[in-house]
Structure 1
């Protein structure tokens, strides 16, 4: 009798254990199955169905500005190139044509385009030479950072200030006065020592802080409206080895954490932040990543390998489009395994990354950048406004990166009159009139929110700001455009940006 009872008890207990194991296994499989299914479907649908542009047309990174042009490819031919460019400018004046200057065309508002104009393709104008004594790189304006970084890397040096990706040309970076993860630094203009500029008349002038200083400031962030940048002298820095550290924090505490972890640490070489776009923590959580210098006198020269153009990081990123679950999954993965925390990485390895790795590949869709420059004291207030504006306008926000920028004392049309934090936002939209109209409405509201807290917006992107908003953000613009007409009285250099705000 006792043995029978014990046997029943053991069987009952074993049944409970088996049920618990079955339930646990089911929960675990369900937990694994959903992200696997989501990522598998994302990878399957991530096909490239983009159509080639018709002959004689160009576009920019928005994929919304297809424009008929006459393309003139500029090649690096010593003693010849400048003569050819002078001839192009003379012909343009005689024929009543306008000239737009283009590098990688990563702007999004037609800053490199003019309908039925002449498009100067500068990407083959890319020679460079480094002086190890002065630590100055002399480079032609069409060279891309993907060419410059390996060149400097072989010599133990790196770029002082640039964007967070390597796709851009030097001329484009100057014309937008870009900035990046180089913390506590002014924009790119601060690293430019000198450049040669071909004016609309064909005359070539030297520009620096001492020689033609007005032109120097106008061209830095001047969007190609004053002339053709020929070659540039850039101040570079030693390549360094870093170790990364990450802090998961509340976004309202971002500035205080930045002050503690970056401003008070002399070992920091680079720093950036990222904000959550997941619905449960939308713009309320952040990750601050800092790169600490490894205290070594010399570092081995490591070859820079080309990154693969596919893989799990891309799938996780693209899986956040139109999906609250995808956004939440990505943020959880970022908090657990994202970044390079604990690893040693060279500065050049961080800089030598292409935006192509995560770009949109669908013909019917596009990804659009915004950037807002916010004073530190106003960041919390601006994010509070964004938490309302973006959902109300059904903005599909994919990413927000935070970058610190110090006061710019060099460019005329400057966006950093003081220390600011740049919030780089990437939105997804349909390439339809309806999609564009919705984006314009939301953009104007976000610009208004930035202006209300003493901030500005960045100019290389869609031309959605009203002229009134543009002039409020950049009150020096009236004089800027008057000086454009002084240096280019026949209006040879044109683009859609100037047509909307300056003509």
Structure 2
């Protein structure tokens, strides 16, 4: 069961729904969404494209969408584009890129668009919907899987289960591989590190249509910039990743005071039998960020011969969605949700291998490695008008985690933030060009609810700016795939290498063909730094 699944499932605590009011009140909170959520125009649209640009954009390609607008998971980034193309081959990617070059249009690559600041599209640009590039090929002998950039982790897990598991991925499975590589995502495996650590190689199409292979040994400079490079250096066509045995784990949990977390994690890190770990912090008002539930998954030799059940989808989606949405409404339901996780939820965990003998205050559940991350979080999606859910993530030096949490708590109370979820994971040092972790860090992931109004957006911008300043004061960095509620000065304080990153982008893509809303917002502030000499390319080939 994933970290979000654990947090959001309130077990049997929602049976007494009378406290929620009438059925008419409750039904929309549990209802399945009818499609992509439309928050309305909470943030003003960018100016429309000139008529000539619109006319030219509707020419030759096999558009999956002509003109119009695109949005991301925030529901707050609606942006006009020349159109969307969904390629299914290298040739179609090359054709789309050639079309954009001929007409001077920016190009971006998108997967499921769960970045929340327009990192997957550019105003007036051609968006490549890479989900058509989703082939999966497992090599059992060398323990790798080669996948198209648009393949999701859900599909990869289904293809390699029950014998193998993903080495490094996000804590839920909805994301595309290309998107995860472009942000260098990380997950529950504190030993494996982020996605970069499991990458054998990438196939990338450059702005001129040339296809190159990049890895730590081949075109290594390009590799370091593409991983965590937000699609600005080339189009990821496919990736070859390590896979690992699909070990059987015993799930364990412990309640601690948040101040005990550093020493608790030190014990976890010193135990090689623990393969996955994460922490949930209390979102209940009285114990806000003070109580911490530590989840670990332990490998024992005697369990490895047990049969792994087929992967299954998460059940009780409507109940889970109701639990989440009620918790956004008031402090009573926030407290009830946290109590449910502490007291009830582990008793309802789906044990895909078997349930072991009693351990501690609950029962140990045996699961395969793939199971905790095989969650498409359908219960997080809704059609509720006037509100949306926003992700934040902050990386702080491990010795600073306690004062950082204290500072967050003060900000949340002062600004009356509607916090739905808070978790901690560990990350190692990441050596890509724009690294969120130049030293080992703890990652704090926040899930916040906001109204889709001008006032709601202003409040979120104020909170985000304050959290970024707090993180920087403690020597940390904030994750860049989210809303653009920060200044260039805050960006360079957290990422002093950002100027060099943008200069390298201009070296690899001198015409600025690859772009997105994030780049358009921040790159101009660093345009004076000269581009460096581009390294020589090896194993280049024209697009087929």
Question: What is the TM-score normalised by the length of structure 2?
Answer: 0.82
Q: Indicate the SS of the match to 1:229.
A: strand
- Corresponding residue for 2:73? 61
Give the distance between the partners of 1:34 and 1:355, measured in 2 at CA: 24
**Post-superposition shift, 1:293?**
1.2
**Post-superposition shift, 1:35?**
6.1
The answer to whether the 8 A contact 1:240-1:294 is kept is: no
- Corresponding residue for 1:302? 309
1:387 aligns with 2:409: yes
- Corresponding residue for 1:174? 181
- Corresponding residue for 1:281? 287
Per-residue deviation, residues 363-419 of structure 1 (Å, max 9, x unmatched):
32100000011112111111111111112112100100111111113x110011111
1:323 aligns with 2:330: yes
CA-based RMSD of the aligned residues comes to 2.0
- Corresponding residue for 2:168? 161
1:348 aligns with 2:355: no
- Corresponding residue for 1:473? 494
- Structure 2, unpaired ranges of 5+: 1-12, 41-64, 350-362, 525-544
**Post-superposition shift, 1:256?**
1.4
1:264 aligns with 2:270: yes
Q: Indicate the SS of the match to 1:480.
A: helix
**Post-superposition shift, 1:96?**
1.5
**Post-superposition shift, 1:171?**
0.1
Flag the structure with larger Rg. 1
- Corresponding residue for 1:502? 523
The answer to whether the 8 A contact 1:373-1:450 is kept is: yes
Q: Indicate the SS of the match to 1:288.
A: strand
1:222 aligns with 2:229: yes
**Post-superposition shift, 1:198?**
0.2
1:448 aligns with 2:455: no
The answer to whether the 8 A contact 1:72-1:121 is kept is: yes
Q: Indicate the SS of the match to 2:327.
A: coil
Give the distance between the partners of 1:52 and 1:178, measured in 2 at CA: 24
The answer to whether the 8 A contact 2:258-2:290 is kept is: yes
Distance 1:50 1:428, change over 3 A: farther
- Corresponding residue for 1:9? none
- Corresponding residue for 2:47? none
Q: Indicate the SS of the match to 1:175.
A: helix
Question: What is the TM-score normalised by the length of structure 1?
Answer: 0.89
Q: Indicate the SS of the match to 2:170.
A: coil
Instruction: Pick one of 37, 45, 49 that aligns with 2:28.
Output: 45
The answer to whether the 8 A contact 2:87-2:128 is kept is: no
Give the distance between the partners of 1:398 and 1:70, measured in 2 at CA: 36
- Corresponding residue for 1:489? 510
- Corresponding residue for 1:201? 208
The answer to whether the 8 A contact 1:114-1:496 is kept is: yes
- Corresponding residue for 1:8? none
The answer to whether the 8 A contact 1:171-1:229 is kept is: yes
Per-residue deviation, residues 245-299 of structure 1 (Å, max 9, x unmatched):
1111111111112222x12322111000000011110111110011111324444
Query: Which of structures 1 and 2 has the larger relative contact order (alpha carbons within 8 angstroms, sep 6+)?
Result: 2
**Post-superposition shift, 1:87?**
2.1
- Corresponding residue for 2:90? 82
**Post-superposition shift, 1:309?**
6.1
Q: Indicate the SS of the match to 2:138.
A: strand
Q: Indicate the SS of the match to 1:305.
A: coil
Compare 310-319 and 286-295 and name the one that shifted more: 310-319
Compare 296-305 and 264-273 and name the one that shifted more: 296-305
- Structure 1, unpaired ranges of 5+: 1-30
Structure with the higher fraction of residues in helix conformation: 1
The answer to whether the 8 A contact 1:71-1:121 is kept is: no
1:103 aligns with 2:124: no
Distance 1:479 1:325, change over 3 A: same
- Corresponding residue for 2:438? 417
**Post-superposition shift, 1:493?**
0.6
1:222-261 equivalence runs, <5 A: 222-260=229-267
Distance 1:266 1:431, change over 3 A: same
Instruction: Pick one of 124, 127, 148 that aligns with 1:119.
Output: 127
Instruction: Pick one of 143, 146, 156 that aligns with 2:151.
Output: 143
**Post-superposition shift, 1:357?**
2.0
1:428 aligns with 2:434: no
1:129 aligns with 2:137: yes
Give the distance between the partners of 2:36 and 2:254, measured in 1 at CA: 42
Aligned residues: 466
